[in-house]
Structure 1
Amino acid sequence: MPEHDPEQELGPKISSALQDHAGHTGLQKSGLAREARRRVHRRRQAWSAAAGAVLVVAAVGGVWGVVGGESPVASQGDSASSEGAAAPRKTPDAVAPNAEGVECPPAHPIQQATSLQPTVGLDLSTPVTELRACRYSLTGAGLLGQQSFNAADAQQVVDAIKVLPERNPDLPVFKCAPQTAKPSEAIVLRFGTATGVREIWVVYDGCTDAGFFTGTHTYGLYSAPLKLFMKGEVRPTNGTYLRALGDW
């Protein structure tokens, strides 16, 4: 019977172990390689998706270009939203521009009026944005002159009229023939307001009545408001009640 040699038994075990180790190492290397390839693939997918998103934004006209910079032209939607955000909020007291305009018409209803009460009279509590003073001949000559005033001056005229009584007791009461009763001229104050042009008619000639007429109220004729707008072409050369008033 041959003698038992431990080295002969150990040799195959070592060989088998080495083979197992080599195989395990190969598997590990193979697994690491696959993991590396998988990560590289995921990075490529991420970069592709990001690049695609940038191109889509550029295609629809967004505010970012292909390289991620700011585009000088915004999309139509962005412009609309910007305008909407910048639009001022309307308030009940806001005064909108007057679309009609306060220019003096060459012919005016005051020239044919039988009653000196404007149908579009100004409520003196209404904010005003501008004033055009229009001086008319009531005997056929038409517009004699006009003068423009800004919002501050217009409001000053309104404020000076609203505190007046209905009649100036210092003015005389005339007795005159019907043919001389009608004024030869008068002034129309045309104010710009949020609801359109509103007027005050100013009568200072004739011999029946004098004052500021709003259509719903009469204010006596006093010199303080007259001095604010009787300027330039609007300043009369004469007037029955102006002569009696003295300091206009």
Structure 2
Amino acid sequence: MPEHDPEQELGPKITSALQDHAGLTGPQKSGLAREARRRVHRRRQAWSAAAAAVLAVAAVGGVWGVVGGDSPVATSQSDSASSAGAGEPERKSEGVAKAQDTGCPPTHPIQQAASLQPTAGLDLNSPVSGLWACRYSLTQGGLLGQQDFDAAVARQVVDAVKVLPERNPDLPVFKCAPQTAKPSEAIVLRFATAAGTREIWVVYDGCADAGFFTGTHTYGLYSAPLKLFMKGDVRPPSGTYLNALGDW
């Protein structure tokens, strides 16, 4: 259909009005003509402004209903992103702490401990999300090596320890003087849990005792758990009970 032009309606009306007042004097005729032209000009301005508004909205990606009604389309990419984010539920941090938050401190209470019983021992039924294995010298002091492991390895270590008896009957029983009973080094297993860092102390040197100590329970020293974390510079070159194990 041809575009509707308001001037097509105004033209005949103005002409008819001029003819009806043909008997008017010259000044009156000229005044009517000016008034007609002014009204046509105002109509042109109004339609031009409306057309410009449509083009401006379309240029920024919006949708404008000329005949009314709400548009279901967002007017900009930022509005789209805001609408998408508003529908998503707030995400909260769940689970246990990350192993990276535990780390291996340069010095550790195991170096001065009178007995090898951690005060923040691990409950072997607690979920774990990571592990740092920290090897310390108990005679000269200092951190000898460290290695971090993911949640899968951490769970494997816990599962391997919890099934062990309190003592490995295949290991020898040494008789030694008190000054030589203390191990020269030991490993601290620092687990990340929901309650914070919890530890197992691993003793494999000296001549007094050996095994995995949780603070509330002792598990015998076996090679299966050792193979999971004794890697890199956490792996000792030797140890009294390690040498007796043979397959660590």
TM-score under structure 2 normalisation? Answer: 0.66
How much has 1:149 moved relative to structure 2? 0.9
Structure 2 counterpart of 1:73, from 68, 78, 97: 78
Q: For residues 42-76 of structure 1, what are the alpha-carbon distances to aligned partners after superposition, in whole Å with 9 as ceiling and x for unaligned?
A: xxxxxxxxxxxxxxxxxxxxxx967344033349x
Q: For residues 126-166 of structure 1, what are the alpha-carbon distances to aligned partners after superposition, in whole Å with 9 as ceiling and x for unaligned?
A: 11111110000001231000111111111111100000000
**Structure 2 residue aligned with 1:87:** 91
Distance 1:79 1:112, change over 3 A: farther
How much has 1:79 moved relative to structure 2? 8.2
Is the Cα contact below 8 Å between 1:223 and 1:247 reproduced in 2?
A: yes
**What is the distance in 2 between the residues matched to 1:82 and 1:164?**
50
**Structure 1 residue aligned with 2:179:** 179
**What is the distance in 1 between the residues matched to 2:184 and 2:148?**
23
**What is the distance in 2 between the residues matched to 1:95 and 1:232?**
29
Distance 1:126 1:179, change over 3 A: same
1:215 correspondence with 2:220: no
**Structure 2 residue aligned with 1:193:** 193
**Structure 1 residue aligned with 2:225:** 225
Secondary structure of 2:146's match?
Answer: strand
Is the Cα contact below 8 Å between 2:98 and 2:130 reproduced in 1?
A: no
How much has 1:82 moved relative to structure 2? 3.9
How much has 1:229 moved relative to structure 2? 0.8
Q: Which runs of structure 2 are paired with 1:131-142 in the superposition (5 Å)?
A: 131-142=131-142
Is the Cα contact below 8 Å between 1:133 and 1:148 reproduced in 2?
A: yes
Is the Cα contact below 8 Å between 1:98 and 1:196 reproduced in 2?
A: no
How much has 1:100 moved relative to structure 2? 7.8
Is the Cα contact below 8 Å between 1:98 and 1:194 reproduced in 2?
A: no
Is the Cα contact below 8 Å between 1:100 and 1:196 reproduced in 2?
A: no
**Structure 2 residue aligned with 1:6:** none
Distance 1:156 1:188, change over 3 A: same
Secondary structure of 2:77's match?
Answer: coil
Q: Which runs of structure 2 are paired with 1:1-248 in the superposition (5 Å)?
A: 67=64, 68=71, 69-70=73-74, 71-74=76-79, 81-82=86-87, 85-87=89-91, 95-98=95-98, 101-248=101-248
How much has 1:115 moved relative to structure 2? 1.0
Distance 1:177 1:99, change over 3 A: closer
Unaligned runs of 5+ in 2: 1-60, 65-70
**What is the distance in 2 between the residues matched to 1:129 and 1:87?**
19
Q: For residues 187-235 of structure 1, what are the alpha-carbon distances to aligned partners after superposition, in whole Å with 9 as ceiling and x for unaligned?
A: 0001111111111000000111100001111000001111111111011
Distance 1:104 1:236, change over 3 A: same
Is the Cα contact below 8 Å between 1:98 and 1:197 reproduced in 2?
A: no
**What is the distance in 2 between the residues matched to 1:80 and 1:99?**
31
**What is the distance in 1 between the residues matched to 2:99 and 2:155?**
19
RMSD (Å) for aligned C-alpha atoms = 2.5
TM-score under structure 1 normalisation? Answer: 0.66
Is the Cα contact below 8 Å between 2:99 and 2:191 reproduced in 1?
A: no
**What is the distance in 1 between the residues matched to 2:84 and 2:110?**
49
Percent of matched pairs sharing the same residue = 72
Secondary structure of 1:73's match?
Answer: helix
Distance 1:100 1:177, change over 3 A: same
